[in-house]
Amino acid sequence: MTTTTDTTAPAPTGKAVETVLDARGVTMRFGGLTAVRDVDLTVNSGEIVGLIGPNGAGKTTFFNCLTGLYIPTEGEVRYKGTVLPPKSFKVTAAGIARTFQNIRLFSNMTVLENVLVGRHTRTKEGLWSALLRGPGFHKAEAASRARAMELLEFVGLANKAEHLSRNLPYGEQRKLEIARALASEPGLLLLDEPTAGMNPQETRAAEELIFAIRDQGIAVLVIEHDMRFIFNLCDRVACLVQGQKLIEGTASVVQSDERVIAAYLGEPFEAAPGDEEAAEVAAAEKRAAEAATEETGGTKEAAGTGATAAPGTAEAPSGAAPADDTPATPADTTTPDDDTTPKATAPGDDTTPSSGPRKENDA
Ligand SMILES: Nc1ncnc2c1ncn2[C@@H]1O[C@H](COP(=O)(O)OP(=O)(O)OP(=O)(O)O)[C@@H](O)[C@H]1O
């Protein structure tokens, strides 16, 4: 095993910085579509690195290339110096764990059982041992349960160990996914939109949890659309646009980059009316409608109905539930399904993310 070690910069812990993940020239093509093009990315020990980009930019595809779900068309991925095997369970065993954009828990299992499933790559007991249930099996099982409880304590779910996972609120299901990923004792944790569908309090708690994970010596690579979250959290951020890495740097460099702002928010439409103009139009329409009512002697109610409908205040689209806010279904943690199917979002889809880069952020 060759280990890539960069000793030029000391890690926060005082230890030498080690390159945990080294992705070089990763390209992933699906027929004629190049979802990821020649992307390089490293994650060092002690780091939290963010991966951002508009919908369809190739972030999840890149994650899938890192975790053995996809074999990159070109390029190479190394974990602590060793080229990763092209099988997701082997990647997990090597030391990379992940969570999914769409929660994938075993909904009919308890919270504790879900974490125990995550430990399978770290337990040596085989089929015969499990069937015969000898002393070795019981000892290993007790150790696994103890570790699983420790992890539930760590994420704040110990008091719900015996609950069915499907009964947990959404934010807690996401925490449970993280606990399950940690159960494989990874050196690198990949989080795909960990705060999707969370309220601000849950998002803040998730931020604290990820800092705590980093403090335990686990490097983190996180995809997120919530820019405030990502710029608060990450030591470094890389932005993908249409499969290519547009920029990589510290939060302050990336969040003030005009290309990132343009890619995320879209170029402002020059003639777009501001709030003031919209209010003026609304007032003018109201006056006109009132005048018309007086002339025709129509009812006040009728006038009000038509007149007060200011442009842009037409019935707002109903708050779309997060795409992954569906009850978790039993799924093999190593055999995901959704991520292997093409998504509806086209490359370059400029759907505005939930929040854009915030300059006021002091990250
Ligand atoms: N298995 C697949 N087969 C064909 N095309 C795919 C496949 N997986 C992803 N794609 C396409 O690759 C492009 C990148 O998709 P990907 O899901 O990686 O983007 P993303 O940045 O993660 O988007 P989002 O933020 O919406 O999750 C999209 O155009 C998508 O339709």
- pLDDT at position 348, please? 34
Q: What is the mean pLDDT of the chain?
A: 75
pLDDT of residue 246: 92
More confident of the two residues 110 and 197: 110
Give me the phi and psi of 104, to 5 degrees please.
-125, 80
Ligand 1 pocket, residue 57 CB under 6 Å: yes
Atom 26 of ligand 1, residue of closest alpha carbon: 55
Q: Is the CB of 64 under 6 A from ligand 1?
A: no
Q: How far is CA 198 from CA 177, 324, 353, in A?
A: 14, 11, 15
Residue 327 has pLDDT above 80, yes or no: no
What is the mean pLDDT of the segment spanning 279-308? 60
Evaluate whether 176 touches 105 at the Cβ level (below 8 Å). yes
Q: Is the pTM value of this prediction over 0.90? A: no
Index of the ligand 1 atom closest to the CA of residue 225: 25
Of 171 and 292, the structure prediction assigns the larger pLDDT to: 171
Mean of pLDDT values over 188-193: 95
14-56 residue pLDDT tens: 567 899 999 999 999 998 899 999 999 999 999 999 999 998 9
What ranges make up the beta strands (E) of 187-227? 188-192, 219-223
Nearest to 207 by CA among 221, 195, 217, 215: 195
Which of 109-113, 119-123, 351-355 has the least mean pLDDT?
Answer: 351-355
* Better-predicted residue by pLDDT, 121 or 143: 143
**What is the domain partition of the chain in residue ranges?**
5-109+165-268+319-340, 275-307
DSSP 242: T
pLDDT category of residue 127 using cuts at 50, 70 and 90: low
Q: How far is the CA of 58 from the centre of ligand 1 (A)?
A: 5
Q: Which atom of ligand 1 is nearest to the CA of 58?
A: 18
- Is the pLDDT score of 312 beyond 50? no
Q: How far is the CA of 347 from the centre of ligand 1 (A)?
A: 7
Give the Å distance between the CA of 68 and the centre of ligand 1.
16
DSSP 316: P
Angstrom distance (rounded) from CA 219 to CA 234: 11
| pLDDT of 83 higher than 50 | yes
109-127: average pLDDT: 77
Q: Is the pLDDT of residue 86 over 70?
A: yes
- Which ligand 1 atom lies nearest to the CA of residue 341? 1
pLDDT top residue among 331 and 211: 211
In this structure, the residue with its CA closest to atom 18 of ligand 1 is 58
Residue 205's CB is within 10 A of a number of other CB atoms, namely 18
Higher confidence at residue 358 or residue 255? 255
Q: How much is the average pLDDT of 199-212?
A: 93
Tell me, using a 6 A CB cutoff, whether residue 54 lines ligand 1.
no
At 77, is the pLDDT very low, low, confident or very high (cuts 50, 70, 90)? very high
Ligand 1 near 30 CB (within 6 A): yes
Is the distance from the beta carbon of residue 29 to the nearest atom of ligand 1 less than 6 Å?
no
Q: How far is the CA of 123 from the centre of ligand 1 (A)?
A: 34
How crowded is the C-beta side of 71, counted as CA atoms within 13 Å?
3
Report the range out of 252-266, 328-342, 349-363 with the highest average pLDDT. 252-266
**% of the chain residues with pLDDT over 70:** 67
Q: 3-state class of 201 per DSSP?
A: helix
Residue 202 and residue 171 in contact, taking contact as beta carbons nearer than 8 Å: yes
What are 210's two structure tokens? 């990820």
Give the CATH H-level superfamily of domain 5-109+165-268+319-340: P-loop containing nucleotide triphosphate hydrolases (3.40.50.300)
- Pairing between β-strand 236-241 and β-strand 48-52 as defined by DSSP bridges: parallel
pLDDT, mean of residues 209-213 = 96
Give yes or no for residue 28 CB within 6 A of ligand 1. no
The verdict on the CB of residue 211 being under 6 Å from ligand 1 is: no
Note the residue count of the chain: 363
Ligand 1 center to residue 358 CA distance, Å? 26
What does the pLDDT average to over 228-234?
92
Residue 320 has pLDDT above 70, yes or no: no
Q: Does the CB atom of residue 347 touch ligand 1 within 6 A?
A: yes
pLDDT, residue 60, reads 94
